[in-house]
Each structure stands twice: as structure tokens, then as C-alpha cells.
Amino acid sequence: MEIQVNAQTPEHPAIGPHVLAVDDDPLIRQMIADYLGKHDLRVTVVEDGRAMNEILAKEVVDLIVLDLKLRTEDGMNLARQLRDESAIPIIMLTGRNDEADRVMGLELGADDYVTKPFSPRELLARI
């Protein structure tokens, strides 16, 4: 399922940076879309790597917020794939909060690492 907030249209050209959030929790996807959308960011939220790759194939994305623990795939593998293919900034957003996971995420190329539960305001500041 894909949700877009503040999508670019002919009547409304680019609003702000395009953030793609990948999280399998529908409540978190909705919270991210609502909060970031209220702050003039263009937001697309999807639930898995397949949907993420579909968006990346057809749209310009300025930043990816990536959950590491998805139902169908490992976010670390997705981060590795993203880093191998592009330089799009990645913020990892995850319930994994031990030092080994944080360090591994950053070593894989993440630009930042935010643990759940999280404050949408803090996420916006990091973006």
C-alpha cells in the first residue's frame, strides 16, 4: 500500500524534498505521512522493499526513512542495496536499539539512525 502526501501536480509544483518512508506498520506510515506532510514535505510511504524499488524506478526521491525489521525482508539488506545503487540519504528508523545494530546500520551507509519509539518532531529535525 502506497500513500502520497503533497504529491507534485501541475497545479502544485514541487513543495519540498521528497521523502520515501518504508515501514511495515500502517500506523507508523500514517503518522510519518501526516506529520511530514504538514511541514511541506512531499511524502510517499510504502510497506516493503518491492514497493520502495517501484517508487525509486519512477520518481526522484531526496531521502529514505527505512525500517530495519520489515515483515518480508531485512532492512539492512535493503540499505546495502540502496547504498550500492545510489547516494540517496538514508535514515534508519527501527526498534533495534543496541549498539551493534546502530553501528552496522551506519557502516552500511545510513546517514542517521533513529530508534522507536520516536518523536515525529525529532525525525523532522533530522531530515
CATH number (domain holding residue 26): 3.40.50.2300
Q: In the prediction, which pLDDT does 71 show?
A: 86
Residues of the chain with pLDDT below 50 are 9-10
The answer to whether 57 and 68 are in contact (CB under 8 A) is no
Neighbouring residues of 106: CB distance < 8 A, sequence distance ≥ 6: 113
Structural domains counted in the chain: 1
Q: In the prediction, which pLDDT does 84 show?
A: 94
- Can you give the residue range of the structural domain that contains 111? 3-126
Q: In the prediction, which pLDDT does 96 show?
A: 82
Q: In the prediction, which pLDDT does 7 show?
A: 53
Backbone torsions φ then ψ of 83, nearest 5 degrees: -65, -35
Question: Burial level of 116, CB count in 10 A (0-12/13-18/19+)?
Answer: middle
pTM flag (> 0.85): yes
> Cell numbers of 81, please?
542495496
Q: In the prediction, which pLDDT does 13 show?
A: 52
